[in-house]
């Protein structure tokens, strides 16, 4: 991996991955793209291009212009927004992915795109969900994720494109808000804990979902992309997870740092239904065996780091205002 084009760089993953790759591979070797430009380090501190992923010719032109050898395709709608706008979700998630795979095929690029715990459905075994199992999701997000997994496998077996990918759990980070996901409560809760010492959860008590802190997610992308292909039995859609918890457990972890933190519930039926259709905990043993996936952050370690870094960020933001 020498020169990398990334789509959807202003999203939750892209904004951190871009900075990490610029650091590791050289600023001049990472081309960040998104459909909009904002005043941010991603846009201002390295190469940045506007790109609408539904326009294949523009993507191809940019990949050729910068002579990239790797394409990381992140642009997509998350689960709750996709449920509200299913036709747009299909057009963007599938159309964008198909364009990106075609660009990778035409230019012989290494390719990464994320799938999600959303690719599973109510019929999937909920605990220790195996790598290879029943996938009949009941959301449009899930439909696009399963189709995307299959498409990536197809491009590898049919055309030899070096496709790789993981099924991300809910990702928790302090740099950029996720925006439109079902697991977003586990990010919002830290903001509200620092701002108000209280949080009203839109996900109900007892609802377990897999989660991961962003540094582990970024490490996973880089490690899988650099992994020796001869070890990969699977290529795409590796189950990965660092922890599984329900709202009371993240609240209890926050109380170890902010003892008077309070939480109550006002459950959002749409996002609760999505969460109920997803597994409680994934089995990540294939990722561990095939490319040494090894997350560092458990719930308490993440809570400490998140509260410390987020407090600094909120303080800086208020100084800037």
DSSP string computed for 9-32: TTSHHHHHHHHHHHHHH-GGGEEE
242, 169 contact by CB (below 8 A): yes
Active site residue 141: yes
Task: Choose one: 150-158, 176-184, 199-207, 294-302; the region binding ligand AKB (CB under 6 A).
Answer: 176-184
The footprint of ligand AKB on this chain (CB under 6 A) covers a number of residues equal to 13
Instruction: Specify the residue, 161 or 186, whose C-beta has the smaller distance to ligand AKB.
Output: 186
Nearest residue to the partner ligand AKB, using Cβ: 181
- Can residue 181 be called a binding residue for ligand AKB (CB under 6 A)? yes
Q: What is the DSSP letter of 174?
A: S
Instruction: Specify the residue, 112 or 168, whose C-beta has the smaller distance to ligand AKB.
Output: 168
DSSP string computed for 176-233: S---S-STTHHHHHHHHHHHHSEEEESS-TT--EEEEEHHHHHHHHHHHHHS-GGG-S
Q: How far is the CB of 45 from ligand AKB (least distance, A)?
A: 26
Candidates 33, 113, 116, 277: give the one binding ligand AKB (CB under 6 A): 116
Here's the x/- map for ligand AKB, 61-100, by CB under 6 A: it reads as -----------------xx---------------------
- Can residue 176 be called a binding residue for ligand AKB (CB under 6 A)? no
Q: Which H/E stretch holds residue 314?
A: helix 299-320
Chain residues in the site for ligand AKB (CB under 6 A):
78-79, 116-118, 141, 168-170, 178, 181-183
Q: List residues with catalytic annotation.
A: 141
């Amino acid at each position: 991996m020498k020169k990398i084009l990334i789509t959807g760089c202003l999203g939750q993953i892209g904004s951190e991955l871009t900075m990490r790759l610029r650091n590791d591979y050289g600023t001049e070797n990472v081309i960040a793209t998104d459909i909009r430009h904002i005043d941010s380090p991603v846009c201002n501190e390295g190469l940045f291009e506007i790109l609408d992923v539904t326009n294949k010719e523009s993507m191809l032109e940019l990949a050729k212009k910068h002579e990239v050898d790797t394409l990381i395709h992140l642009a997509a709608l998350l689960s709750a927004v996709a449920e509200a706008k299913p036709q747009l979700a299909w057009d963007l998630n599938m159309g964008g992915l198909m364009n990106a795979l075609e660009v990778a095929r035409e230019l012989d690029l290494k390719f990464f795109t994320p799938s999600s715990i959303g690719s599973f459905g109510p019929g999937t075994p909920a605990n220790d969900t195996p790598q290879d199992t029943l996938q009949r999701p009941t959301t449009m997000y899930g439909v696009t994720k399963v189709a995307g997994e299959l498409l990536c496998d197809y491009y590898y077996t049919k055309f030899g494109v070096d496709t790789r990918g993981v099924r991300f759990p809910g990702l928790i980070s302090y740099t950029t808000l996720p925006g439109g996901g079902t697991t977003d409560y586990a990010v919002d809760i830290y903001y509200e804990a620092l701002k108000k010492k209280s949080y009203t959860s839109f996900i109900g008590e007892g609802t377990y979902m897999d989660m991961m802190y962003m540094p582990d997610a970024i490490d996973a992308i880089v490690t899988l992309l650099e992994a020796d292909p001869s070890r990969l039995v699977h290529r795409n859609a590796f189950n990965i997870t660092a922890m599984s918890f329900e709202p009371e457990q993240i609240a209890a972890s926050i109380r170890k740092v902010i003892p008077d933190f309070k939480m109550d519930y006002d459950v959002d039926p749409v996002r609760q239904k999505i969460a109920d259709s997803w597994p409680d905990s994934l089995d990540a043993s294939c990722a561990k065996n095939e490319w040494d996936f090894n997350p560092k952050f458990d719930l308490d370690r993440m809570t400490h780091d998140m509260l410390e870094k987020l407090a600094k960020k909120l303080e800086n933001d208020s100084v800037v205002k």
